[in-house]
Amino acid sequence: MKNFLLLILGILIGALISFFYFSKPDADLTITPPKGLITPEQAKILDEAYNPRYKLISDSIVTMQGGDNRSSWYALGQVRDYLIYAENQAKELGYTMNGVRIYLGAHPNHNGKAGNTTMFFIPTGIPHTADASMFNFSLQEDGGDIPDAEGLNMGTDGRPPSASYPQ
């Protein structure tokens, strides 16, 4: 009987500890802002600083109606899906994906007219050093572009393409 009471007491103590351990309030799930956030005012300053470059490009190279493209829009689901896809592809290529690099590019000339500016994502990462490694001791925060990895393009142009921040 004594062993049975100790068993019941042990179960009750275990249940009580489990209750307090697994029922932590949601307050512990704080969202920390990522490094590099800028305010809308800072975004306006960056956008205005780009104006002379944009004018130079639009006046001398891209002389189409509406001007050259200044922004690209990507659906949230498209970006999430791409990040998952790119991370899996990086693993298959022997890399640990640690970020994306965003490049400026231009669509090829078509019918004698310059193509609009575009922005595209390329995954970055570091090569796997050993399959059996438990820890990644690399202090490198950013990685190089992952060779042979597919990028993401085909965002929607600004409306109109020459529209500056905010749209």
Low-confidence ranges of the chain (pLDDT < 70): 23-28, 62-64, 66, 130-142
Q: For the chain, state the CA radius of gyration.
A: 26
- The SS3 assignment for 57 reads helix
Measured distance between the N- and C-terminal CA atoms of the chain, rounded to whole angstroms = 76
What are the residue boundaries of the structural domains of the chain, listed by start? 38-131+139-167
Predicted confidence (pLDDT) per residue in 147-165, tens digit: 899 888 877 777 777 777 7
Q: Is the dihedral of CA 118, 119, 122, 124 positive or negative?
A: positive
- At residue 63, the pLDDT reads 65
- At residue 7, the pLDDT reads 74
If one counts every other C-beta atom within 10 angstroms of the C-beta of residue 124, the result is: 19
Tokens representing 81? 């899906």
Q: Where are the alpha helices (DSSP H) in 23-159?
A: 40-60, 76-92
Per-position b or e across 135-156, b if 16+ CB within 10 A of its CB? eeeeeeeebeebeebebbeebe
- The SS3 assignment for 9 reads helix
123 strand-pairing partners: 100
